[in-house]
Amino acid sequence: MSPLRLLSLAFYGLAMGLIAPAVPAWLRSRVRRGKEDPGRWRERLGRPSVARPEGRLAWLHGVSVGESLSLLPLAERLRAVAPGLTVLITTGTMASAEVLAARRPEGVLHQYAPLDTPGATRAFLDHWRPEIGVLAESELWPNLILTARRRGVRLALVSARLSDGSLRGWRRAPGAAKAVLRAFDLVLARNGAAAEGLTSLGARVDGLADLKFGAPVLPGDAAALAAARAELGDRPLILAASTHPGEEEIILAAFTGIPRGRRPVLVIVPRHPVRGPDIINPARTQGLSVGLRSAGARLGEDDVHVADTLGELGLFYRLASLAVVGGSFGDPAVGGHNPLEPARLDCPFITGPNVSAWLVYAVLTASGATQCVSAQDLPGWFARAVAGDPALRILAERAAKVVALGDAEVASAMDRIVGMLPP
């Protein structure tokens, strides 16, 4: 390592060490503002809230909800090939901790990631002693990465990408960037553009893989599917999936343009089921009959069926002639929702214009597998679904091919990560 590179990293370590005494007070202020977990903020200092289980341990890190959920299939794969292995997932947000608390399987622990001060990283690694560390997406913390490397932890960076801002920042310290990126034994970029950015910083990119692929197909109970088809009869079903406030009104307005004699059933699955009753009045204002699934409504009874239940999205994707993936017509900060779920279930789908959280939409649209549409476009798409337009089947087939390719890349990536485990 060159003297200049050593100097830049040493300066960073010194700076982080100098601010370390002020960090507890800063964290407590964040607790007061609701930005840190009041019972677990000391985990950010590397102080664990649970004991380390005996035996082997793998450490996976994803900063927020999407990244952490993408790590769960990998956690299960590691547990399957190495019985008795504990998997620790670290994240940086309270929302991700809440989601993982509900979804993490047996043998998987969660802690908040330590801040990148020398003391916090040492304390974290002293306690957990991982054999491998897998970091998802864009988390590059020099102290944590280089200290882990010095201790013999085998490291992988997967679904790797850096924002334009991060790339500009690292390019101001090219020696440090190369040293940090070369600490990884395996680097798998999210896509070709991400690979180019990482390579420009001196990374050795070993391939492509986006861990948001590779998830299992959404479940769908066979008996419930048969019952739903019987309730629908010959009426087509249009699905509005994972909707947010304000989106239901847009979708309902478009739906009213379908002539009543040809009207399908519109199923709305709000992102938060507790909002189900909030959709009743907007539907009635449009002159539509509406039923709540939680209140026992049957699919064929009403114009609008609000599925304010949990775990049934897979059922409705299997039934839909067309799905509109929500989180994409309102607040741009939401950034859209998962397009891979309908693609795996052979369901044609479209989405709104705000899909920044799912970069895979760029691949899907370029492949002719979906379209990002405006609110004004929705009536035309709904009419195509009612008419049984064969072009919708072509969309679904193309989307399935994109997902199959991505899933295959992830399967290969998981094999390579599993191969990093010491014998």
Identify which of 360, 358, 370 has the alpha carbon closest to the alpha carbon of residue 405: 360
| Residue 130: partners with Cβ closer than 8 Å, 6 or more residues away | 57, 58, 59, 88, 148, 153
Give the orientation angle of helix 164-171 with respect to helix 174-181, to 10 degrees.
Answer: 110
- Return d(Cα 148, Cα 150) in angstroms, integer: 5
CA 235 to chain centre: 33
Dig out the tokens for 383 from the structure. Answer: 């009419």
Dig out the tokens for 41 from the structure. Answer: 């903020």
- Return d(Cα 5, Cα 174) in angstroms, integer: 8
Beta-bridge mates of residue 189: 160, 208
Give whole-number Cα distances, 284 to 237, 274, 280, 289, in Å.
Answer: 19, 19, 6, 6
Rounded to the nearest 5°, which phi and psi values hold at 364?
Answer: -65, -45
Identify which of 107, 149, 115 has the alpha carbon closest to the alpha carbon of residue 23: 115
| Residue 342: partners with Cβ closer than 8 Å, 6 or more residues away | 241, 317, 320, 323, 325, 348, 349, 399
Identify which of 112, 101, 94, 98 has the alpha carbon closest to the alpha carbon of residue 45: 112
Dig out the tokens for 55 from the structure. Answer: 């035996």
In this structure, which amino acid lies at residue 174? Answer: P
**Kindly report the CA angle at 153 between 172 and 83, in degrees rounded to 5?**
135
Active site (annotated) includes residue 248 = no
Catalytic residue among 36, 43, 67, 248: 67
Identify which of 353, 417, 422 has the alpha carbon closest to the alpha carbon of residue 214: 417
* Active-site residue list: 67
